Amino acid sequence: MNKQILRLAIPNIISNLSVPLLGAVDTAVVGHLEHVYYLGAIAVGSIIFDFIFWGFGFLRMGTTGLVAQAFGAGNERETRIILIRVLAVAGIASALILLLQYPLIEISLLMVNATPEVEEYTRLYYSIRIFAAPATLALFGINGWFLGMQNSTYPMLITIVLNLFNVGLNLLFVLYFGMNVDGVALGSLIASYLGVVVAIGMYLKKYSGIKLKASLQEVLDPTELKKFFSVNRDIFIRTLCLIFSYAFFVAKSAESGDVVLAANTILLQLWYISAYGIDGFAFAAESLVGRFKGANDVEKLKESVKLSMGWGLGFGIVATMIYALFGDSIITIFTDKADVLETGLVVIIWTVFAPVINSICFIWDGVYIGATATSAMRNSMLIATILFFVPVYYLAEPFVGVHALWLSMSLFMIIRGITLSFWARSQIFKPLSIQAIP
């Protein structure tokens, strides 16, 4: 089982880490430009796209669980129909995003009390990157399908190629052509469509035998559509809560000024790097749990959960040790601004312990997605967001200042881990045990 976990997790870790490393490169490049508000604009713009794009993250997560279960049950027909269905939803969703692009940016900026300079360059960044919507959403669905088919190598290769193009184009536009946030946005736009080309090529190479053909009746099957949208509705709500928390974090950082915003943006990059690494094991859990649930194999499902949790926690401990030893030096890679460095060093302790704190809820997310037990995952996120994250910030901020944001974010992750652990017996293991009774 450990070999199966590592076979799926290692490619996921490599591809996942390339995502925050791309953000880290962007942050480092922009962080060394003349004005600190460029960095603030990238932070605010990224959060806006987290809302817009990752709001549709269910196209990846929901697809993985459903396809993995169909794969475990040996139902190739259903795996094919799910891919067609998710690509159709991605196309409709991206068309709506482009249609509503102007009200989306206006509403977003109303929620963030940023300086005029940050707002100006956020608009510039947004006006270019918004046109990556069709490619981004299509890749969510395609990568989710590959993972459900127990193939984590293709998503790794797609993500690495996409991010290498992205880094190269960003460096070209910013350092060679003298652009700023517009260069970062243009690099992301072009790289997204190159990623789709790579994904299509990989599908044709390995899965050409699975023809993307299905009747309208098959795609619109009421029972399967209900399951598809039920799972994805829960993941959508869960994802919106997660994005809201990060957006709230950035918005409150922006209210404290460009220096605090820049420092917190840098520390969030370190947070993301460890999170995406741990998510490699969460993605492995999605694929294996879905597969063993589809095959109705109780013992292997339990073993996959136990070992995935162990690997994820171990990765978190290693990341915490690295941040504890080298965190101060790492911050200097991102910026040479003395005031930003000073502010970052004040609150870096929260980033040091984040990998260990976050690892439990991240792995449980993968388990619940693979088992399509998404209602409990949704409820856990709602409890953590509404009852803990927001109230704790407002209660603590008058007493501890900027530490309140990091305190509330840490507690947010802890509560998610506790609730998901508590519900696992009834939501993950018990239903499968009942089905296994002859």
Contacts of 308 (CB under 8 A, 6+ apart): 5, 9, 281, 282, 284, 285, 288, 363, 366, 367
Contacts of 180 (CB under 8 A, 6+ apart): 30, 33, 38, 121, 174
Burial (0-12, 13-18, 19+ Cβ within 10 Å), 437? exposed
pLDDT at 437 over 70: no
Contacts of 232 (CB under 8 A, 6+ apart): 58, 59, 62
pLDDT tens across 9-61, in order?
788 777 666 655 555 666 667 766 666 677 778 777 877 887 788 778 778 88
pTM of the model: 0.77
> What local confidence, expressed as pLDDT, does residue 56 receive?
83
Contacts of 376 (CB under 8 A, 6+ apart): 368, 420, 423, 427
pLDDT tens across 153-209, in order?
898 899 888 888 888 898 888 888 878 888 888 988 999 999 999 999 999 888 877
DSSP string, 324-351: HHHHHHHHHHH---HHHHHHHHHHHHHH
| Phi-psi label, residue 74: left if phi above 0, alpha if psi -120 to 50, beta otherwise | left
**Among 79-93, 325-339, 365-379, 392-406, which is the least confidently predicted range?**
325-339
Average pLDDT over all residues of the chain: 85
> What local confidence, expressed as pLDDT, does residue 20 receive?
54
With b meaning 16 or more CB within 10 Å and e meaning fewer, what string describes 83-112? Answer: bebbbebbeebbeebeeebeebbeebbeeb
